[in-house]
Amino acid sequence: MIPDSLKQLLSHVDGHQRATWEGRDVALFNMAWGEMAISLQGAQVLHFQPTDDTGWLCVTPTPQALPGAIRGGIPLCWPWFADERYADESPERNGPFHGLARHAMWRLDAVDDHAEGIEVHLSPEERLHSQLTARVVIQANAQRLNVEIISENIGDAPIKTSGALHTYLAVNEAHQCRLEGLAGARYLDKLRGFAESEQQGTLAIRGPVDRIYHTNEAVLLNDGQRTLRIGKQSSDSTVVWHPDSDLPSDTPADAAKQ
C-alpha cells in the first residue's frame, strides 16, 4: 500500500510535477485516470492507482538511506537478476545483487500526456554497463500499467544478461490469494532446495512461497476482492514470492497480509 507521506505529496499535485520523498527525487502524477509515483533512483514505479480503485502496488514507508534500494513498487533488476551476474564476463560482473539499474539515478527524458493516459521515458544519468545500454518506458491509464526495459548490446561480442520487474503487488489478504495461469508449468521451489515440480491447478497462497515458474503465460491474481491480470513479453519465467511472516527488516509487520 502507499505510505502516508507519499500519499500526502500526491494530494497536492494537479497534473504532474517533481518532488522529494525520503530523500529521493520522484515524479508524481495525479491525473483524471488515476495516480502514479516514480522514483528517479532506479526508474522505479512506487505507486499506481487507477481512479475508482485501490493501489496496485505496495512500498515500504521507510526505505533504506541512499544509495540503498527501495523495497516495493516495481524494482528493475538489470542486467542480471539475483546472482546471475556471475555468468556475465564484463567488468561490471561484481556489481550488486539484482543488478545495477535499481541503485542508479535516471533522468526523465519525456512525458507524453494525453486524455487516455500517459507515457514516460527514462534513461540512466550515467552509463551503467560498458557493453549494454538501457532505457525504460512506462505507460499508464485507468485500466493498465505497462513497464518496459529496452536493452541494447552496443559491443562487438555477445553477452549473457537476465532481468526482472520485481513487482510488489498489493492485495487485500495474502492468504486469500489464488493465481490462475500456472497450471502445468514446471517450477523450481527455492524453499525446498530448488526441487523441481509441476504446478497442479490453481496456486493458493497459504504460507511462504518462493518459486520460479518456467512459463511465459499471463497470470490472474485474485485476492478475494479484485482480479489483476499480470502479462509479459520476452520473458520465459515467472517468480512467485511471498515471505509470509519472515519479513525483511525494512518491511512493516502488517505487510505479511498484503
pLDDT tens per residue, range 166-190: 999 999 999 999 999 999 999 999 9
Higher pLDDT, 213 or 100: 213
The confidence score (pLDDT) of residue 150 equals 96
- On whether the CB atoms of residues 35 and 12 are closer than 8 A, the answer is no
Helices (H) and strands (E) in the chain, counts: 1, 18
What nine digits make up the cell of 174?
495474502
pLDDT at 116: 86
CATH architecture of the domain formed by 1-170 = Distorted Sandwich (2.70)
- Summarised one tens digit per residue, pLDDT across range 136-165 is 999 999 999 999 999 999 999 888 888 899
Mean pLDDT, all residues of the chain: 90
- Looking at the chain, which residues constitute the CATH 2.70.98.10 domain(s)? 1-170
In 102-226, where do the E strands start and end? 106-114, 117-124, 132-141, 145-153, 164-165, 178-180, 186-189, 195-198, 203-204, 209-213, 219-222
Q: Which three cell numbers stand for residue 215?
A: 512459463
